[in-house]
Amino acid sequence: MLRALVAGLVVVAGLALPMVAPQPAQAVPPGTYAYVTNFNANTVSVINTATNTVAVTVPVGAAPWEVAVSPNGTRAYVTNRADGTVSVINTATDTVVATVPVGLEPLGVAVSPDGTRAYVTNFSADTVSVIKTNTNTVVATVPVGDAPIGVAVSPNGTRAYVTNSDADTVSVIKTATNTVVATVPVGAFPFGVAVSPNGTRAYVTNFNADTVSVIKTATNTVVATVPVGDAPQGVAVSPNGTRAYVTNADADTVSVIKTNTNTVVATIPVGDAPREVAVSPNGTRAYVTNANADTVSVINTVTNTVVATIPVGDLPFGVAIGVVPCPGHGKPGHGKPDHGKPGHGKSGHDRPTTATVPAPGNCTPA
């Protein structure tokens, strides 16, 4: 039996998990989608963000925890906590095209900016599995701290940041060598982690301290500690870098941090037991999974209000947003890497995203 990570989310060996009947492949039109892991249903809900409705439900492995979408939008990677695997979803057909064995109890997952690697935290193995995405094979296993949960990759792809929940630290992995090059002390039971778009800051939620540690990535030191709500878990940074969104699982709220002052400027009521959060590519919406309500709250980031509530599967946890391209666009694992140098661009002053994305049903930008 594994340790009680958070209340209500414990997998017990031998537990009969719900079975999901297979369903035929169902293509979705190009557009922006939110992918939500339903922990107790062994499925992923695919939400069309244009309509805020579930377009399709994809069966995956046992007890799916987290999800990440490749930068080119062609694949979604889902960690299956109970069976030690990662399900690889083809986003055009919403079918699982590969199942990759990783370590014991995989939780967090992040994809490199060039799409060639996926990084998976193995909670009970104290390791990170590195998946080569064009072959769907593990090419490295990196020892990290005790009970790793969250993982995020820097925008230039040179570093991966891993929260070690039972060590109260963050491991910094150099991706070129798959070695830990720094260990950063943070707050009690670090859970989620996100890196700013300019790569200068990493934001870490401290579940047992009700705070967020702000790490300066150039020095791997904590430069600020921000009080938030009760039991913070998920964290996401807006595309323009001006806001960080934190889910407070025991407060049923989301804290909005202004990044240039490291202060909470809004607290938004959401559903019961919010776990994770993802921000849309244009920065106008934040999607929050409410584990005990079986819903996703959609926040208007301009007004900091919930503008939609979407029913999903049983105990939603992870959420990621991706843009599904037109057919034939964006081969997996072959996207060009981000060439931005770390430390360029002042925190909180990045310009908003203005790039257009394909509208549903169209194969040209909207």
More confident residue, 167 or 342: 167
Q: What does the pLDDT read at residue 224? A: 98
Q: What does the pLDDT read at residue 363? A: 56
pLDDT exceeds cutoff 70 at 262: yes
Task: Give the pLDDT band of residue 327 (cuts 50, 70, 90).
Answer: confident
- Output the CA–CA distances (angstroms, integers) from residue 337 to 74, 115, 119, 315, in the order listed: 16, 8, 16, 35
Which of 13-17, 81-85, 195-199, 337-341 has the least mean pLDDT?
Answer: 337-341
Average pLDDT over residues 36-41: 98
Three-state SS at 197: coil
Q: What does the pLDDT read at residue 209? A: 98
Q: Which pairing describes strands 274-279 and 285-290: parallel, antiparallel, or unpaired?
A: antiparallel
pLDDT exceeds cutoff 50 at 359: no
More confident residue, 323 or 350: 323
Residue type, 290: N
Q: How far apart are CA 55 and CA 41, in angstroms?
A: 17
Quote the pTM value. Answer: 0.87
Which stretch of DSSP H or E encloses residue 279? strand 274-279
Pick from 230, 261, 223, 224: nearest CA to 246? 230
Q: What does the pLDDT read at residue 28? A: 83
Give buried/exposed letters for 322-340 (b at 16+ CB in 10 A, else e): bbbbeeeebebbebeebeb
- Which value, to the nearest 10 degrees, does the dihedral of the CA atoms of residues 170, 154, 217, 301 take? -90
Average pLDDT over residues 75-104: 98
Q: How far apart are CA 364 and CA 348, in angstroms?
A: 31
Q: What does the pLDDT read at residue 331? A: 52
Q: What is the pLDDT of residues 206-246, one digit of tens each?
A: 999 999 999 999 999 999 999 999 999 999 999 999 999 99
The total of other beta-carbon atoms located within 10 Å of residue 320's CB is 25
pLDDT exceeds cutoff 70 at 13: no
pLDDT exceeds cutoff 50 at 337: no
pLDDT exceeds cutoff 80 at 342: no
102, 119 in Cβ contact below 8 A? no
More confident residue, 233 or 363: 233
Average pLDDT over residues 55-62: 97
